[in-house]
Chains A and B, each alone.
Chain A
Amino acid sequence: MNLVLDSVCKRFGEGRDAQLVLDRISLTMHTGQFLALLGSSGSGKSTLMRLVAGLEKPSSGRLSLDGQPIRGPGSERGMVFQKYSLYPWLTVAQNVAFGMELKRLDRGEIRERTAYYLDVVGLSNAARRLPRELSGGMQQRVAIARALAAEPRLLLLDEPFGALDLQIRESMQEFLYGLWQRTGLSVLLITHDIDEALLLAQQVHILAPRPGRIVQSLSLELNQRDLRELRISAHFQTLRHEVADTLRQLDRDLL
């Protein structure tokens, strides 16, 4: 997997009302990488994610995955939204199987892989339940399992835990980190949560708002063996404050 964004711009509207949302974004990403895009609201980070997913087209610049230009959505780039993305009429297992059914895999394989991915996210017991019977954290785990079951080369997470309570968010972050380590996935995470970006990702791009642009890129080599430990370590706290200052400064420049 090799994702390349080459001076990607995105404008909304036309003529005088045109608004530049993303300004010359360039980045690359390789197999197995966990990359985070960190920015406050208005930084165009969701738009950037939608461009990678193929749900929007760039105004200029190029996006490609493994040398192929990105022209539209496809199952090699699985996406998890912040909320409202489970099919409410399908059970948990049917939700996970949905992508495989679109691909018309045979029944046996679908059943096997559904069971496997439900197990991966720890929801084997909930297979027959409806989404509305699940907590927010469980729903997001189903959405992740569903995206994984389609076997994407790249997993796109658009503030996947943004709607969850703090406690649940922390345990979901640990879950996601464990998942990434076990599976060797390539993950592109969008977030405004500084802790989340710094804890999980190997590389963090900080986006400035209006227009969205990358102002700083951090390569992190933290000891992530114990996320709980890491959260409270002095080194992490210092880093966190630095990034928070950067973001605050960027927002202040706008006022």
Chain B
Amino acid sequence: MRARPPCWSAGQEEAASGDLWRDISASVLRVLGGFGLSALVALPLGIAMGANTTFCRLLEPLLALLRYMPAPAFIPLLIIYFGLGELPKVLLIFIGTLFFNTLMIMDAVKFVPRELLETTLTLGGRRRDLLVRVITPFIAPQVLDAFRINMAAAWNLVILAELVAADSGLGKHITLAQRFLRTDQIFLGLIVIGLIGLLIDLSFRMLLRRSCAWAT
């Protein structure tokens, strides 16, 4: 008989009972919610900060300060304010990725060559055209790359939030396994987390290659 790692049979067992799928989908949904929200806010904010010096000077010190506050330190506050449901977890991911997303997008906008913007103006373009037709397509590859990198932070945070307090999710799966000394289950959780992360990373890379072939 071939020897199989114990987490393999743990995986089969979990997959059959449906618990694993429930935990995966809970974690994935939280990441998508929190990160999606963060991306939605970071895009206009980062573009505005990159394109407008006054706006940037106003907000940058604040963002720089907030960026140095570790997101996990917000967990107690989030639990006190929002309880143990989905909201505090989504918000944790939002807080933990917003500043990085915004600053990276801002930087991308700042590096749009001035000649490109001025050429557009001399071709009859207006300010709106600069935003829609020049800045947005130019920064698209850097934005996708920033999202890809910061997505890893989102995964760290969701697991952390679930380790602290949750009734589902991969983090919860691991704490529960710890209580019963089921190292096979812990390894299963870790491997699944790693695989999902890898899958997300690869999909971002593929999206980048497909939509921004000019930059790769």
By a beta-carbon cutoff of 8 Å, the part of chain A in contact with chain B is 53-55, 72-75, 77-79, 81, 83-85, 87-89, 98-99, 102-103, 130, 132, 143, 146-147, 150, 156
A102 and B212 CA atoms in complex are apart in Å by 22
A143 and B116 CA atoms in complex are apart in Å by 11
B124 touches A55 (CB 8 A): no
Q: Known contacts A89-B138, A89-B214, A89-B215: does B118 contact A55 (CB below 8 Å)?
A: yes
B124 touches A79 (CB 8 A): no
Which B residues are in CB contact (< 8 Å) with A99? 123-124
A84 touches B113 (CB 8 A): yes
Nearest CB on B from A151, distance (A) = 10
B124 touches A75 (CB 8 A): yes
User: How many residues does chain B have at the interface if contact means C-beta atoms less than 8 Å apart?
Assistant: 20
Nearest CB on B from A154, distance (A) = 11
Residue ID in chain B nearest A50 by CB atoms: B118
CB pairs A–B below 8 angstroms (22 shown):
A55-B118, A55-B122, A73-B118, A77-B122, A79-B119, A81-B115, A83-B115, A84-B113, A85-B113, A85-B115, A87-B137, A88-B138, A89-B140, A89-B214, A89-B215, A98-B120, A98-B123, A99-B123, A102-B129, A130-B214, A146-B123, A156-B122
Which B residues are in CB contact (< 8 Å) with A78? 122-123
A81 and B115 CA atoms in complex are apart in Å by 7
Main secondary structure of the interface of B (DSSP, over half): helix
Which B residues are in CB contact (< 8 Å) with A147? 122-123
Supply 7 further A-B pairs (C-beta < 8 A) apart from A73-B118, A75-B123, A77-B122: A74-B122, A75-B122, A81-B115, A84-B113, A87-B137, A102-B123, A147-B122
B116 touches A73 (CB 8 A): no
Asked whether B10 is an interface residue with its Cβ less than 8 Å from the other chain, the reply is: no
Nearest CB on B from A88, distance (A) = 6
By a beta-carbon cutoff of 8 Å, the part of chain B in contact with chain A is 113, 115-116, 118-125, 129, 133-134, 137-138, 140, 212, 214-215
Nearest CB on A from B155, distance (A) = 30
A156 and B116 CA atoms in complex are apart in Å by 15
B122 touches A53 (CB 8 A): yes
Which A residues are in CB contact (< 8 Å) with B120? 98, 102
Q: Known contacts A81-B119, A83-B115, A87-B116: does B214 contact A74 (CB below 8 Å)?
A: no
Q: Sorted from nearest, which 6 A-B pairs have the closest CB atoms? A: A75-B124, A99-B123, A73-B121, A79-B122, A85-B115, A89-B214
Residue ID in chain B nearest A143 by CB atoms: B119
Residue ID in chain A nearest B122 by CB atoms: A79
B125 touches A102 (CB 8 A): yes
Q: Known contacts A87-B134, A89-B137, A89-B215: does B115 contact A74 (CB below 8 Å)?
A: no
Which A residues are in CB contact (< 8 Å) with B125? 102
Nearest CB on B from A104, distance (A) = 10
Which B residues are in CB contact (< 8 Å) with A87? 116, 134, 137-138
Nearest CB on A from B131, distance (A) = 13
A53 and B137 CA atoms in complex are apart in Å by 25
Contact of B118 among A74, A81, A102, A130 (CB under 8 A): A81
B214 touches A79 (CB 8 A): no
A85 touches B119 (CB 8 A): yes
Which A residues are in CB contact (< 8 Å) with B137? 87, 89
Which A residues are in CB contact (< 8 Å) with B214? 88-89, 130, 132
B122 touches A84 (CB 8 A): no
